[in-house]
Amino acid sequence: MVLPPFQTLLDSYSHDVHRFLVANVGATDADDCYQETWIAALRGYPKLQHATNLRGWLLTIASRKAIDVHRARGRGPVAVAELPEEGVVVARENADDLWTAVAALPTKQRAAVALRFLLDAEYPTVAATMGISEAAARRNVHEGLKRLREEHGHEWTA
């Protein structure tokens, strides 16, 4: 089994991992989380058995780091402090604010929506990355979208 040079992973997926984390934990914590994700990846890399889905592997690590952040903060919606004062209704004007609304979803819905839409992952990938069944992945995306629609007026379809 030959793994590519680690630098090629960084060159190919740094933006995906960062965007995923910004949507998951908010911009303030994303940078630390991003660094922890890549250091953990570098540590574990030589023991990796397959080179078939390196992006998925990295996002799995990023998901775990994001969950650690949420655990450390305690329960509750994230990134509320970063919302514009006018409120989220205005937010749909702007893609960044849309992700701020996504960041306020419950953990699993947020991860599933981010993977599906931000990173354009197919459901089997969403499921594998989150360590849940494909049905559960679909359900989480569905619930997340429903909530975005009801609370913020964002119209997306799965």
Partner 1 sequence: MSGPPDLTEAFERSGLIDVSYVVEDSPVGRLLLAATGDGLVCLHYVDQDGDLELSLEQLAARLSPRVLLAPRRLDAPRRELDEFFGGSRRDFDLPLDYSLVKPGFTRRVLEQTARIPFGETVSYKGIAGRAGNDRAFRAAGTALGSNPLPIVVPCHRVLHAGGGLGGYTGGLDIKRKLLTIEGVLPEQLAGRG
**Sites of contact with partner 1 (CB under 8 A):** 2-8, 10, 14-15, 17-19, 22, 27, 31, 34-35, 38-39, 42-43, 45-46, 95-96, 99
| Beta carbon nearer to partner 1, 3 or 132 | 3
Amino acid, single-letter form, for residue 28:
T
Determine the Cα–Cα distance for residues 8 and 51; give it in Å rounded to an integer.
Answer: 12
Shortest approach of partner 1 to residue 8 CB, angstroms? 7
Contacts of 116 (CB under 8 A, 6+ apart): 123, 126, 137, 141, 158
Nearer to partner 1, 10 or 83 (CB): 10
SS3 category, 84 = coil
| Cβ distance to partner 1 smaller for residue 7 or 52 | 7
Please tell me the distance from the alpha carbon of residue 38 to that of residue 33, in angstroms, as a whole number. 9
CB of 62 to partner 1, least distance (A): 11
